[in-house]
Amino acid sequence: IDYTLLLTQPQAYVDRKKQELTQLIKSKPNRPANYRSGLPYKTKNVPKPTSHPWPEQRKIYHLVFAIGDGMRRLQPQQTLDPSLWLEVYDLWPGYYLNDERIRDAACALIRKGDKAGAARAMAILAKQYNKLTWEPNVLMAQAEYMRDNSGNAQAIPLYRELFSNYPQHTLAGRARQLYKDAGGR
């Protein structure tokens, strides 16, 4: 049924997967504090994670990616909304490269202008993750939001901060060019 919906009615498929995701988030299973799922880790070079997601919650990644597939099917230009990762963050803290997903969620929420969601994502980033991995992307998102909504004058200091504090970052060259285009000296 899901695959048929994905091919014929992508919007119904996305709605169905979002409903499954919200049900999974709302129904929290009762587990002991130090619960271990018993997943076998046989390879020597892979460190065993300190915490596992609950068996019921391992579907989260598949559901979020399925929503992304439906959105791509809906319109080729449309992709997964990264702010979805923030909604499910409480179910998978400290697991599977969350810093990149939360960083993308924070940037998407900043670009949308959602101050409450962006503040929550920024608080998680500041508390849990290294500033070097997320601050340049957040600065670029803030500068783009300022450029689109307040004009270039608000974005100029953010561009300058990005390329002066993080000269080796991949966004530094773009920030320097945007800084010059906006009228910075």
14, pLDDT greater than 70:
yes
CA distance 119 to 35: 31
More confident: 55 or 8: 8
Q: Which helix (H) or strand (E) holds 72?
A: helix 59-74
- 71 token code pair: 């959105």
Closest by CA position to 68, among listed 32, 101, 33, 24? 101
The answer to whether 117 touches 151, Cβ cutoff 8 Å, is no
Ranges assigned E (strand) in the chain: none
Closest by CA position to 64, among listed 51, 53, 52, 50? 53
Closest by CA position to 89, among listed 115, 112, 123, 114? 123
Residue keyed to tokens 């101050």: 115
More confident: 68 or 142: 142
Q: What is the pTM of this model?
A: 0.70
Span 42-80, pLDDT tens digits:
566 666 656 555 666 667 778 888 887 888 887 766 677
pLDDT score of 166: 92
Q: What angle do CA 10, 108, 121 make, to 5 degrees?
A: 120
Which pairs from 135-139 meet CB under 8 Å and 24+ separation?
Answer: 135/165, 135/166, 136/162, 136/165, 136/166, 136/169, 136/171, 136/172, 137/103, 137/104, 137/107, 137/171, 138/103, 138/106, 138/107, 138/110, 139/175
